[in-house]
Structure 1
């Protein structure tokens, strides 16, 4: 496989490495931040800053050296279909390509497993993850399977295949409620007047010898201290769920948009706490990606 040139997408940079083996691994990450949480919870989300996605690349490796058997859980047809969008909108963007024709998505012909590390989770946090995943599943038609809890924590070198922990299939999407000690971008107590990161999320894509790409696993880190504090405020749970839905949107392949009425806008807005028309239109497209029976 020849080395691909660097591609630029606004402030988003994605690098594909040279590889003489069958596959290479790329990680696409975005993070979600907000000003210090003060006053009513509805005010906390106003002006929240979504920063441009960033990327990194893991070492190239052959399929037999570090990936699961081909075709695990693969079906011949998509497992579901996106919900109908009442009013479509062009206010969506994809994180994994320079154009809408170059999107990267999860395989709709196999389920997406996910696990949650319970450490540091605020009361009701697991339920919010469940609701956010359900919203994404309905919008995309992708089937998610909750594999329960895990002891795995976030790592910049997280392996997409961990047979000793998760069996002989791709590692599940990982949700972690992280502390400031674990994630330097987080602060334990929101600082009034400053921008504080509420969550980080991204997915890993495999790059085949034909140049085709597909997401196989991902990670969402949630700021346990700041979001736990938000949960105690009136309307707080809805705001925390909005953070989770936004990060799941990035995990599934959505990028930022310039439309402030969308959840994937780069600054959160009062009253926008779930996927809007553009988000739903983009998610529906991501749910109709290619099937990859041999990955």
Structure 2
């Protein structure tokens, strides 16, 4: 920013950015009557005007730096002037003694997580092929749980027949909505064994700051078909979806079996204290 301001000073000295140049024809001036001469002088003074163009350029540069600066100074400046475009309420970080872990952290700072932009909705699309009949209710419950814990807002972009669970950024580097769907191990070999689902996100990096922009959730269709017949099946299916959504927003597995993000979870159906703390920290990041 200092470099750009110095360049503006140089241009101002060379070209006079603070004024509109008044161009006059070459040759002898034509005398004007006294009254018209006075009006002519006033018009020329008005044409010269204030230093608006230069100030406008400086203001635009400062506004750009102000809006996109991901550093602590940028955050404090935005807070000072009350500029915060986050879509949801800022969730307070609970004082818990649970365990949580972030899937990815920022370059050079292992304590700062990679997360989503809280000033943009997390868009998602669903492929319901192979899903249980009540998949909409199950998904809505999980999204509500994650949204309440993070403050992130989710945007439903409808259903689709897409099945590209691995690459959600197209050839023009445009992120696609998070894809949520059901598959078997023949289609997605990583679902083999005791894997109930897969979830994760992809980030883009700008100015050494990473932000998640898309992701995918793949749920085991055969397991969900079995759980749909069990007495406590709905609670277990929703817990699996919430667990995978936890991965999508930025949480990793933990070793504490009291947390929903426990790697081998078989009975926990609610978010634990560590889950809630980690989710709140993911949602408290600055707008990217």
For Structure 1 versus Structure 2, the TM-score category normalised by the shorter chain is 0.5 to 0.7
For the 8 Å contact 1:160–1:217, the answer to whether it is kept is no
2:151 and 2:197 map into 1 onto residues whose CA distance is 24
Gapped runs of 5+ residues in structure 2? 1-67, 69-82
For the 8 Å contact 2:91–2:284, the answer to whether it is kept is no
1:162 and 1:89 map into 2 onto residues whose CA distance is 44
Alpha carbon RMSD of aligned pairs, Å?
2.4
Bigger relative contact order, structure 1 or 2, given CA contacts below 8 A and separation 6+?
1
Shift of 1:186: 3.0
For the 8 Å contact 1:160–1:204, the answer to whether it is kept is no
Shift of 1:76: 4.8
Name the residue aligned to 2:150: 140
Name the residue aligned to 1:186: 191
**2:102 is equivalent to residue 94 of structure 1:** yes
Name the residue aligned to 1:48: none
Name the residue aligned to 1:6: none
SS in structure 1 of the partner of residue 163 of structure 2: coil
Name the residue aligned to 1:175: 180
Flag the 1:214–1:160 CA change in 2: closer, same or farther, 3 A: farther
SS in structure 2 of the partner of residue 205 of structure 1: strand
Rg larger for: 2
Flag the 1:157–1:85 CA change in 2: closer, same or farther, 3 A: closer
Name the residue aligned to 2:60: none
Total equivalences in the alignment = 205
Instruction: Name the TM-score, length of structure 2 as normaliser.
Output: 0.65
2:170 and 2:213 map into 1 onto residues whose CA distance is 7
More helix by share: 2
Instruction: Name the TM-score, length of structure 1 as normaliser.
Output: 0.64
**2:88 is equivalent to residue 80 of structure 1:** yes
Shift of 1:230: 1.0
* Partner of residue 134 from structure 2, selected from 121, 124, 133: 124
Flag the 1:212–1:84 CA change in 2: closer, same or farther, 3 A: closer
Gapped runs of 5+ residues in structure 1? 1-70, 164-168, 188-194
Could you list the runs of 4 or more consecutive aligned residues of structure 1 that deviate by over 4 angstroms after TM superposition? 82-87, 160-163
2:287 and 2:92 map into 1 onto residues whose CA distance is 21
SS in structure 1 of the partner of residue 111 of structure 2: helix
Q: How does 1:241-260 map to 2 (within 5 A)?
A: 241-260=238-257
1:155 and 1:268 map into 2 onto residues whose CA distance is 23
1:89 and 1:160 map into 2 onto residues whose CA distance is 41
Flag the 1:149–1:162 CA change in 2: closer, same or farther, 3 A: farther
Shift of 1:87: 5.2
2:115 and 2:260 map into 1 onto residues whose CA distance is 19
- Give deviations 1:173-192, integer Å, cap 9, x for gaps: 110111233112335xxxxx
**2:242 is equivalent to residue 232 of structure 1:** no
